[in-house]
């Protein structure tokens, strides 16, 4: 192909495929100055990012830290129940609001408009003649319209006041080229133009269309064609398509075959006339974790690209990960701010995502404002690794996993602790994880080159450690760091608020798109704040649940930070310290950011609690509730409480693959490194699959002896295991037998709990022993004192429910308390934990927090409550349970 050198003024022809007439722009009033993309929002939040700069910051001060004891729900609307009704649940959307009306995607993929003061639905749209796009992340408002996405890769415009469909277009058909799956990402509106991003596809683009009629204006691909020379505002030129390696023998061009997806919405700066869009990882030519066929930096993957708002003309780019082989795409919505750095005013952009890095760039030219160093990286000759990677001088999250000693006293331990046996780190006799050069990673040694000064002769589980066909665990992960949650920038504190997830993953060239998360790994997270002008972390609150999958923060001028969690909790935090000041249980998971607005001068905060699944799968409680809060809010649920009941417990540890098997059905025996108990074939021997324990999930009662077997010829005469295999238990470190074929090991489980284990020969095969205590019922043993539980709030707001509820339970003689004391209630899917428990003689004295009970018990004259407590006698654990009936007043 003949190479074309395109000057910046002509580059729009390279990125926009329509004829010149298609590039005609919406008319604007010439005298009207451009709006600011970085001004705080006020009464409205018309964009998913709050303002066009995605700051998620409001200048409102009607709700302050001093008022939080009066902050209660004003209303709740079940958006799926509104006609046309459905029973759909689960959604990742962030609402928007204009003129006192909230607009959002419903779990079923419709769009609904709700009165912001009352929660009363004004209209609900469902497509006619084409399908919905179920998973969506937000709509935008402008030009009297609401802009959304629908099935068939459509952009749809609705009348803002009535919900009537005005137009629906398929940009790929207009452009004459497949632009990717335009069905998920929040739209952005500004000055007569709607911006939409593809969330998937062999080749994915950002597209701009006219708000008036949906006609195509321009598009920009993350994988450009070869020979297109992009010259940026700094005078640097690059053939982006040429950075994906040569055309393959079968004619495949990796730049056109997959990846570099812009799967979160962009940011706009009207005064600079610039639109900023982040593209994700490459995944073409084999897999996202195999870079052997695409040598080069693979532009514009893992890159922030700035283009002209109106024409799509390229301005500059900054690549944050070169030649990504980890699915570590940096794609969360870029955030814009005007700050002072080193005494100079700077127009900056905050950019990052899964890597845990935050790059602070000059948004006029793409150059780093805060220091970034290119670090030499470990090289694997099979992967065509980049020689260096950019690292901000100020790191937000740890760069390496922690190889923490296996010990019952350190469970769960460091949030970044690693599962043993990965990367060759195996437990010694004391449980210390020590690198073994003769482990499975020895096969990689001939292909690895370490940079001068590297602190080890092996891969320590650090960011950008290379891999090939054997699993290498590293941090952060394809599901960690910032992932798709938005940041927030506060004008008041000059801090950036960064929600994060901790979810280390094992990478190898055959892994799925998101890598292979280690079985039994704790999946947690939190939120931190860093100084926008220096990059220094000011505080971190590790809240305990993943915050990287839509749980974006909102900050206000009163120095409050509002954020939701996947466990249903909605929090108000001190934006300066990170302290949790107020929390509310919505009853279902939250996977979007909150908004704030005013109606007739009164400030509200609203959030959608609809569930979703990342990264906890089916354990997340789904829903469809749009909640709004105000000072003095008096809404109550059907139970008489203002809050929703506690959701089901989250599966915090990465679950095993496979259904639970009762121990008695398999002689309480586990076969190591076999995918099942009967298949006698060559592929089944010495399995390296994550399902390579038979069974992967064994359920047994307390006191059961479980036998671990490395099956030899006596079990599988044709294809026995040939290698030694382990059952390394973690993180307690209770056992670690290394068994040759035909050998077995037995262990008796004396306490209830879940006990994970994996193999030392290859760490992917993993299993779990679930040990349960069969409760013994003690009829009449439980009494509440008094028998009437008063849960009324003297203030009329749920925050006024204080104090303790006391109970006693008589137990048999000779036992001592040994573990948790919990209460099952009619409404809760999770047991309520006691705040205090003490055994005196044969009487167990227990107290529960009234606030913990308020949302989990209904009012009534005969409410059944069941207490369960663990005890031990002569080394054997026993659970006792008893039920009492009480009167509940609310």
Picking from 583, 506, 504, the residue whose alpha carbon sits closest to that of residue 541 is 583
The pLDDT value given to residue 567: 97
The average pLDDT across 298-308 equals 97
Topology agreement, domain 661-772 and domain 776-889: yes
Task: Please name the CATH architecture into which domain 661-772 falls.
Answer: Sandwich (2.60)
808-835 residue pLDDT tens: 999 999 999 998 899 999 998 899 999 9
The pLDDT value given to residue 203: 87
Q: Is the pLDDT of residue 7 over 90?
A: no
Least confident range of 31-45, 258-272, 365-379, 721-735: 31-45
The average pLDDT across 586-598 equals 97
Strand 788-790 to 495-502 pairing = unpaired
The residue with greater pLDDT, 418 or 35, is 418
Picking from 605, 650, 598, 642, the residue whose alpha carbon sits closest to that of residue 626 is 605
The average pLDDT across 93-116 equals 97
- Which residues is 425 bridged to in the sheet? 435
The average pLDDT across 563-568 equals 97
Picking from 805, 791, 799, 864, the residue whose alpha carbon sits closest to that of residue 834 is 805
Any idea what the Cα angle at residue 734 is, between residues 731 and 740, rounded to 5°?
105
- Label residue 31 by pLDDT band (50, 70, 90): low
Give the span between the Cα atoms of 748 and 738, in whole angstroms: 17
Question: DSSP letter string over 470-524?
Answer: S-EEESS-TT-BTTTPPPEEETTTTEEEEEEEE--EEE-TTS-TT-EEPTT-B-E
The pLDDT value given to residue 15: 34
What number of other Cβ atoms are within 10 A of residue 429's Cβ? 6
Token code pair at residue 518: 């280690």
The pLDDT value given to residue 286: 87
The pLDDT value given to residue 513: 67
Picking from 636, 490, 640, the residue whose alpha carbon sits closest to that of residue 573 is 490
Give the span between the Cα atoms of 415 and 504, in whole angstroms: 10
Q: Is the pLDDT of residue 354 over 90?
A: yes
The pLDDT value given to residue 802: 94
The average pLDDT across 550-560 equals 97
Any idea what the Cα angle at residue 858 is, between residues 852 and 862, rounded to 5°?
115
Q: By percentage, how much of the chain surpasses pLDDT 90?
A: 89
Measured torsion, CA atoms of residues 549, 389, 364, 220, in degrees rounded to the nearest 10: -60
Q: Is the pLDDT of residue 570 over 80?
A: yes
The pLDDT value given to residue 352: 92
3-class secondary structure per residue, 217-258: EEEEECCCCCCEEEECCCCCEEEHHHHHCCCCCCCCCHHHHC
- Label residue 9 by pLDDT band (50, 70, 90): very low
What are the structural domain ranges in the chain? 12-24+43-397+477-631, 661-772, 776-889
| Total residue length of the chain | 890
Token code pair at residue 732: 């307690």
604-647 residue pLDDT tens: 999 999 998 989 999 999 999 999 999 999 999 999 999 999 99
The average pLDDT across 700-708 equals 97
Measured torsion, CA atoms of residues 670, 673, 675, 681, in degrees rounded to the nearest 10: -120
The region that residue 292 occupies, defined by phi over 0 for left and psi between -120 and 50 for alpha, beta otherwise, is alpha
Least confident range of 167-171, 503-507, 801-805: 503-507
Mean pLDDT, all residues of the chain? 94
The average pLDDT across 74-99 equals 95
Q: What is the CA radius of gyration of the chain?
A: 29
Picking from 686, 674, 676, 669, the residue whose alpha carbon sits closest to that of residue 747 is 669
Strand 669-672 to 693-694 pairing = antiparallel
- Label residue 32 by pLDDT band (50, 70, 90): low
The pLDDT value given to residue 133: 84
Q: Is the pLDDT of residue 856 over 80?
A: yes
208-261 residue pLDDT tens: 999 999 999 999 999 999 999 999 988 999 999 999 999 999 999 999 997 799
The pLDDT value given to residue 8: 28
Domain 776-889 has CATH 2.60.40: yes
The residue with greater pLDDT, 2 or 150, is 150
CB distance 558 to 64 below 8 Å? yes
755-768 residue pLDDT tens: 999 999 999 999 99
The pLDDT value given to residue 848: 98
Q: Is the pLDDT of residue 16 over 60?
A: no
- Label residue 650 by pLDDT band (50, 70, 90): very high
Task: Please name the CATH architecture into which domain 12-24+43-397+477-631 falls.
Answer: 8 Propeller (2.140)
For residue 140, the Cα-to-chain-centroid distance in whole angstroms is 23
């Amino acid at each position: 192909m003949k190479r074309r050198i395109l000057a910046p003024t002509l580059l729009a022809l390279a990125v926009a495929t329509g004829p010149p007439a298609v590039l005609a722009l919406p008319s604007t009033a010439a005298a009207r100055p451009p709006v600011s993309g970085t001004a705080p929002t006020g009464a409205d939040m018309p964009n998913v990012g709050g303002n066009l700069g995605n700051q998620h910051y409001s200048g409102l001060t009607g709700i302050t830290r001093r008022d939080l004891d009066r902050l209660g729900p004003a209303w709740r609307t079940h958006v799926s129940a509104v006609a046309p009704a459905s029973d759909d649940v689960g959604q990742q959307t962030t609402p928007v609001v204009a003129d006192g009306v909230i607009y959002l995607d419903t779990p079923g993929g419709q769009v609904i408009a709700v009165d912001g003061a009352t929660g009363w639905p004004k209209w609900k749209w469902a497509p006619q003649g084409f399908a919905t796009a179920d998973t969506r992340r937000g709509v935008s408002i402008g030009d009297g319209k609401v802009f959304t996405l629908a099935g068939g890769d459509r952009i749809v415009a609705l009348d803002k006041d009535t919900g009537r469909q005005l137009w629906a277009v398929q940009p790929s058909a207009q452009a004459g080229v497949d632009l990717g799956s335009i069905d998920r990402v929040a739209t952005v509106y500004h000055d007569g133009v709607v911006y939409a991003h593809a969330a998937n596809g062999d080749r994915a683009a950002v597209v701009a269309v006219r708000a008036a009629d949906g006609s195509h204006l321009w598009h920009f691909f993350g994988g450009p064609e070869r020979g297109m020379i992009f010259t940026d505002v700094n005078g640097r030129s690059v053939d982006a398509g040429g950075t994906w390696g040569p055309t393959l023998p079968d004619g495949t061009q990796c730049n056109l075959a997959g990846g570099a997806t812009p799967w979160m919405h962009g940011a706009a700066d009207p005064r600079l006339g610039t639109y900023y869009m982040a593209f994700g990882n490459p995944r073409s030519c084999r897999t996202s974790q195999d870079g052997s066929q695409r040598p080069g930096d693979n532009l514009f993957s893992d890159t922030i690209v700035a283009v002209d708002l109106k024409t799509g003309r390229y301005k500059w780019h900054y690549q944050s990960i070169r030649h990504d082989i980890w699915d570590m795409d940096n794609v969360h919505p870029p955030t814009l701010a005007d700050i002072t750095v080193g005494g100079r005013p700077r127009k900056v952009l905050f950019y990052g995502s899964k890597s845990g890095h935050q790059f602070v760039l000059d948004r006029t030219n793409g150059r780093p404002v805060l220091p970034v160093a290119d670090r030499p990286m470990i090289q694997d000759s099979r992967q065509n690794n980049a020689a260096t990677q950019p690292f901000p001088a100020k790191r937000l999250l740890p760069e390496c996993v922690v190889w923490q000693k296996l010990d019952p006293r350190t469970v769960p331990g460091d949030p970044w602790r690693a599962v043993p046996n990965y990367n060759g780190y195996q437990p010694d006799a004391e449980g210390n994880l020590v690198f073994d050069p003769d482990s499975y990673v020895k096969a990689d040694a001939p292909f690895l080159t370490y940079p001068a000064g590297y602190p080890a002769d092996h891969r320590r589980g650090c960011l950008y450690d290379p891999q090939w066909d054997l699993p290498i665990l590293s941090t952060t992960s394809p599901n960690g760091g910032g992932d798709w949650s938005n940041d927030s920038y506060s004008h008041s504190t000059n801090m950036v608020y960064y929600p994060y997830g901790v979810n280390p993953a094992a990478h190898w060239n055959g892994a799925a798109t998101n890598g292979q998360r280690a079985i039994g790994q704790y999946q947690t997270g939190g939120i931190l704040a860093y100084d926008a002008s220096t990059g220094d972390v000011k505080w971190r609150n590790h809240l305990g649940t993943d915050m990287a999958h839509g749980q974006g923060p909102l900050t206000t001028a009163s120095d409050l930070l509002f954020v939701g969690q996947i466990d249903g909790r909605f929090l108000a935090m001190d934006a300066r310290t990170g302290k949790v000041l107020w929390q509310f249980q919505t009853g279902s998971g939250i996977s979007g950011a909150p908004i704030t607005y005013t109606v007739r001068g009164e400030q509200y905060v609203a959030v959608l609690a609809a569930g979703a699944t990342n990264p906890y799968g089916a354990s997340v409680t789904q829903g469809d509730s749009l909640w709004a809060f105000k000072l003095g809010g008096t809404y109550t649920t059907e139970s008489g409480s203002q809050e929703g009941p506690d959701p089901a417990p989250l599966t915090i540890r990465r679950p095993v693959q496979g259904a639970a098997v009762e121990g008695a059905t398999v002689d309480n025996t586990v076969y190591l490194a076999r995918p099942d108990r009967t298949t006698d074939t060559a592929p089944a021997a010495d399995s390296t699959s994550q399902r390579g324990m038979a069974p992967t999930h064994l359920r047994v009662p307390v006191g059961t002896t479980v036998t671990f077997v490395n099956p030899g010829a006596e079990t599988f005469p044709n294809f026995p295991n040939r290698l030694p295999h382990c059952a390394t238990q973690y993180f307690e470190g209770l056992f670690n037998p290394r068994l040759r074929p035909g050998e077995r090991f037995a262990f008796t489980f004396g306490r209830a709990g879940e006990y994970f284990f994996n193999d030392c020969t290859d760490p992917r095969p993993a299993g779990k022993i679930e040990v349960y205590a069969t409760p013994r019922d003690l009829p009449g043993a439980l009494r509440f004192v008094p028998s009437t539980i008063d849960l009324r709030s003297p203030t009329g707001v749920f925050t006024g429910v204080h104090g303790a509820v006391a109970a006693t339970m008589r137990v048999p003689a000779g036992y001592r308390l040994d573990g948790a004391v919990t209460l099952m209630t009619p409404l809760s899917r999770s047991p309520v934990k006691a705040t205090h428990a003490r055994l005196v003689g044969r009487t167990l004295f227990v107290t529960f927090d009234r606030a913990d009970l308020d949302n989990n018990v209904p009012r009534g004259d005969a409410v059944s409550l069941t207490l369960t407590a663990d005890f031990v006698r002569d080394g054997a654990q026993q659970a006792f349970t008893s039920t009492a009936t009480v009167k509940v007043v609310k």
